[in-house]
Amino acid sequence: KHFYQKTPVVKCYNSNTAFVCTSNHKWYSKKRVNTKGTKGYYKSGYTETKDLNTEDNLLMSAPYKGDSCGHVTGDEALLMGFILSDGYYRWSDDSQGPSTSFGKRRNIVCMISQSKNKFYGVVESCLERLGLNYRKDVKEVTNGNTVFSYYLRCEEARDFFDRVTECRLQKHEMNWTSWVMKLSRESLKAFYKGFFMGDGTQGQKLISQNEGNVFDAVVAVTQLLGKGRVLISGNGKCRHIRMGRSNNLTWQKVNVEEAPAQDTFCLTTNDDSFIIRQGDFVGITGNSAIYGVYPKRLSRELGI
Q: How many CB atoms lie within 10 A of CB 229?
A: 24
Q: What is the pLDDT of residue 37?
A: 64
Between 234 and 10, name the one with better pLDDT: 10
Strand partners, 277: 282
Residue 115's CB: how many other CB atoms inside 10 A? 15
Which of 127-136, 247-256, 292-301 bottoms out in mean pLDDT, i.e. has the lowest? 292-301
Kindly state the average pLDDT of the residues 52-79. 88
Q: What is the pLDDT of residue 301?
A: 62
Q: What is the pLDDT of residue 38?
A: 66
The model's pLDDT over 70-110, given as tens digits with 9 standing for 90+, comes to 799 999 999 999 999 999 999 998 654 444 454 578 999 99
Number of helices followed by number of strands (H, E) in the chain: 7, 17
Q: In this predicted structure, what is the pLDDT of residue 207?
A: 94
d(CA 128, CA 150): 12
Among candidates 98, 42, 44, 85, which has minimal Cα distance to 284? 44
Q: At 100, which amino acid appears? A: T
Name residue 224's amino acid.
Answer: L
Strand residue runs (E) in the chain? 2-13, 18-21, 26-33, 41-48, 56-59, 87-91, 108-115, 134-140, 146-152, 200-201, 206-210, 230-233, 238-243, 248-250, 255-266, 273-278, 281-286
- Higher-pLDDT residue of 128 and 299 is 128
The rounded distance, in Å, linking the Cα atoms of 131 and 63 is 32
DSSP E strand stretches across 34-152: 41-48, 56-59, 87-91, 108-115, 134-140, 146-152
Provide the pLDDT for residue 5: 86
What average pLDDT does the structure give for the chain?
Answer: 88
What 3-state class would DSSP assign to 12? strand
For the stretch 137-186, pLDDT in tens is: 999 887 778 999 999 999 999 999 999 999 999 999 999 999 999 999 99
Q: What is the pLDDT of residue 102?
A: 47
